[in-house]
Amino acid sequence: MSARTDVWQAKFERLRSNKLFELLVISVILISALVIGVKTYPLPPLANQAIVIMDWAITLFFAVEIVVRFLGESDRRQFFRSGWNVFDTLIVAVSLIPIEDSELALIGRLVRIFRVLRMVSIIPELRTLLNSLLKALPQLGYVMLMMFIIFYIYAALGSTFFAAINPELWGDISISMLTLFRIMTFEDWTDVMYETMAIYPLSWSFYLSFIFLSAFAFLNMIIGIVVNVLEEEHQAQAREEALAAGEPTLSELRDEIQGLRRLLESRQS
């Protein structure tokens, strides 16, 4: 009985690792995204019925795919220790509940929208990117806090000096912060600057200093942090793949080189 189970487990493992099967899953996810987009348009009743049938077929395919991945796991207790496996299973399980004509129909539609996120769990590169963003959040939090402080200071200055010029842009500190966000994204910021320069000729220094701090300094810091964490994630993934393949890691090679160097030095001495 155990040997037969191992045989089936090996077959399911080969199936889930098959590139054609992965491409099929990605294709169905893309079709699911297109179905969600099509539902936003007014359609004739026949087309709506076809969309509903297609949606249920996609849901059943995802259920079969989850079962294949579960049965192909060598240690099935490890399957639900992965957050992505839990996420995929919950999305598919909720999608199988017939709640289209109930008060929970909105939740059902939202769950089907989030099925597009299954693309992240299927493609390893997307998982690496998302994991890097999550790991970078603690460092990004301090940068965002500093950006908020700069925004708050400049918004207070803008409300103090420019509220009388244009209350719609500088009437209070919250509106001023929205105006500063517009300036940071370079959305017609020169029109805002020239309007205040008509009263305060040196107000250009206010805008240029803010753009230098926000758009140049802090945004580049955010990009640098994300790129650094992404590089570390790629290195960690390469080390895991090397260990899985039985290849020596960089630290092991360094230790071997140092050992050979000590051996040569001892022989020379």
CB 159 within 8 A of CB 170: yes
Residue 1, CA atoms < 13 Å, CB-side half-sphere:
0
Give the residue-averaged pLDDT of 198-221: 91
Question: From CA 198, how far away is CA 137, in angstroms rounded?
Answer: 42
Task: Please give the structure tokens belonging to residue 71.
Answer: 């049965």
The pTM for the full model equals 0.63
CB 203 within 8 A of CB 169: no
Phi-psi bin for 188: left (phi > 0), alpha (psi -120 to 50), beta? left
User: Per-residue pLDDT tens for 144-195?
Assistant: 899 999 999 999 999 999 999 999 999 999 999 999 999 999 988 999 999 9
Give the residue-averaged pLDDT of 114-140: 80
**Rg of the chain taking only CA atoms, in angstroms:** 28
